[in-house]
Chains A and B, each alone.
Chain A
Amino acid sequence: MSELASLSLERYRSIAVAVVSGEIDLSNADELRNRIARWVINDDVALILDFTDISYTDSAGINLLFDLSARLREHGQGLCVILPADSQPRRTFAIVGVEERVPIFETAADAEAWAGGATTSRPPREGDVAREG
């Protein structure tokens, strides 16, 4: 009743999962991004953002996504999003071409299959540690 968006953080094997529900706008995007970014550890091969229950996002949500994507790419970690086909966030993401940078799946199974596959393309871990400095 109180929060604009709620966040639950999970981890399956080496895949970090952030389930966000509610609405994302300027008032909560930074906090959400920081909490999600802190959840991802070096051993994770990928992060799945489960936006299935997001009913609204503005461009602050797109900034959140691109920001996380850039950070993870530096560490050779993957990022994908789960979003149903017919939703305000999906159409908003489509307008600015989110899908060209971040894969979007409609089901958790598809997202997990993609994220599991990201393991094979993952660069050596030593590099990650060095970069974290």
Chain B
Amino acid sequence: MQSTSPQIADPAEQLRRLLRVADVALAHLSPEDLLDELLIRVREILDADTAAVLLLNKQTGELVATAAKGLEEEVEQGVRIPLGKGFAGRVAAERKPVVIGRVDHRNVLNPILREKGVSSLIGVPLLVRGEVLGVLHVGTLAPRTFTDADAELLQLVAERVALGLHVRLYEQERRMTETLQRTFLPESLPEVPGLRLTAKYLPATDPGIGGDWYDVFVLPSGAVALAMGDVSGHGLRAAALMGRIRNALRACALEVENPSEAVDRLDRLMELLDVTDIVTLLFGIVDTELSEFRFVSAGHVPPLLIKPDGQSSFADDDWGNPPLGIGHLHPFRENIVPLEAGTSLLLYTDGLVERRDESLSEGLERLRGVSAPMRLSPNPAEAIESAIRSLLDGREPADDIALLLVDLEAESTGIDLRIAADPAALVTVRRAFRRWLSDLGVPRRVSDDVITAVGEASANAVEHAYGPMGGWLHVLASCEVDTIQVTVCDGGRWRRRQSGRGRGSTLMRSVMDSVEIETSDAGTTVTMQRRLPGR
């Protein structure tokens, strides 16, 4: 005999049932536990025997059994129902409640439902913002007529379930995105004497994670490589692609002599990297010793130079190279821009300057207009944000925005360098001294001598002060009237194992006017002086 829903006419009972699924205590449960608890409750309040949730796999178009009460086999066996087929498939396709009074083989695809002897079924779609996430259905072993009130109640539960699942999926995607972001954006920017680097990445509000990326790394020669790129497309796939391109570019840059060769190599690799998107790239080397920026633009927006006199101009790109990966007749060609002390260099992506209602050149002109306060700002991150705010002018960013601001110190007044005591640090120390001594107008010969002495003192610290765990090196230098004063400190004790150490001290004493080496438990300090000629 056919039963109807219990106490359907009683409004108080209907309210009680509603409160069971709206229970605030459920808010504290994890998404998995919430799903379980809601299935238990829905089975109870509808006096049903089975309750199950199937989630839609968008790639395969199948509904996959994810949680069930009274039908646990369904989950264990991983039941999959194609969209539009069978009972659950029909609920998902029609996006509305479906009731089956008496189950027969023609309208139920799931063998477990048949084997269990389920007689009646009601199913509702799990919807978030009109998108079907899956299906919730309950069933009874005895034949039963589900009412509109049952359908409404079940739809309410479905909303709750959908929301919980949506939060969980969103959470997963957000976590994955963050992990991926770490693969295409540097975790920290390198410390480079004479340069200050500031980066900003602003994802677009709507399509989510987008195709912009940047990279900064110090080459073995001590010069600094900068990359700013833009992959057409959004989402996890674009993010993964950016990660691959970033790594490939690093590898290419280490093996060649100049930026254009590196970009040529990367371009040839694009096919291997399986890239079909349009990728623009600006790649260049800042060499503070040569005071120049050598760069290649592969279809990217031009770098902006902000000069000490407050004038800003876009670096000339004489070549108009195409984006990467589209095949081209000529090798990528590069430009060389002189960088005077106190200049700032801005690399960015087109999201910063493009608006739907105006041309690119208008956007570039607006950027030029707001750029001056970014140069050598006491708070560069705030200056960048302020420039972005005024460019967006209250709009939400339609595309990702990435910016890299490189400030060249106005003039080096001295040296205060604290770095890891590593052999690779030695070239960094030499570069800092070359630039400073050149700013001071010290003759080449004297400059060579000071660098020889500083090099030996630093090499001693690197080679002899620490064990395998390494340590730090602190180099200070100033010019007092006519004397250059240099201090090199470490936190270890020089081991007197190697014969070369005596040679280092001989060199220091020969090229400097005075050398003092103090060793204590706290470390070794070398203090040296060199008088400047004719001052």
Contacts and interface: CB of A to CB of B under 8 A. Distances in A.
Main secondary structure of the interface of A (DSSP, over half): mixed
B315 interface: no
A88 B455 CA distance: 12
Given A1-B259, A27-B424, A27-B426, A96 B459 contact: no
Contacts of B424: 27
A2 B426 contact: no
Interface string B186-228: 0000000000000000000000000000000001111100000
B426 to A, nearest CB: 5
B423 interface: yes
Interface residues of A, number: 20
Interface stretch (A57-65, A73-81, A103-111, A121-129): A57-65
A4 B218 CA distance: 12
B423 A27 contact: yes
A4 B254 CA distance: 11
- Overall SS of chain B's interface: helix
B256 A92 contact: no
B514 interface: no
A6 to B, nearest CB: 9
B374 interface: no
Given A59-B500, A62-B503, A1 B427 contact: no
Interface residues of B, number: 34
Contacts of B423: 25-27
Interface string B249-284: 000011111110000000000000000000000000
Contacts, number: 80
Nearest to A62: B503
Contact of B503 (A2, A3, A26, A96): A96
Contact of A27 (B427, B503, B510): B427
A88 B452 contact: yes
A34 to B, nearest CB: 15
Given A59-B507, A88-B452, A91-B448, A26 B219 contact: no
Contacts of B507: 58-59, 92, 95-96
Interface in A44-88: 56, 58-60, 62-63, 88
Contacts of A56: 430, 448, 451, 455
Contact of B452 (A2, A4, A22, A92): A92
Interface string B425-448: 011001000000000000000001
A122 B427 CA distance: 40
A23 B429 CA distance: 13
A26 B428 CA distance: 13
A3 B220 contact: yes
Interface string A1-45: 111100000000000000000110111000000000000000000
A25 B426 contact: yes
Contacts of B256: 1-2
Contact of A2 (B254, B448, B463, B500): B254
Nearest to B454: A58
Interface in B45-60: none
B363 interface: no
Contacts of B426: 25-27, 58
A1 B285 contact: yes
29 contacts: A1-B219, A1-B258, A2-B220, A2-B253, A2-B256, A3-B220, A4-B220, A4-B427, A23-B427, A23-B430, A25-B426, A25-B427, A27-B220, A27-B424, A27-B426, A27-B427, A58-B426, A58-B455, A58-B504, A59-B459, A59-B500, A59-B504, A62-B503, A63-B503, A88-B451, A91-B448, A92-B507, A95-B507, A96-B507
The 3 closest A-B pairs by CB, nearest first: A27-B423, A88-B448, A26-B423
Given A63-B500, A95-B510, A96-B503, 4 more contacts: A3-B220, A26-B426, A56-B430, A59-B504
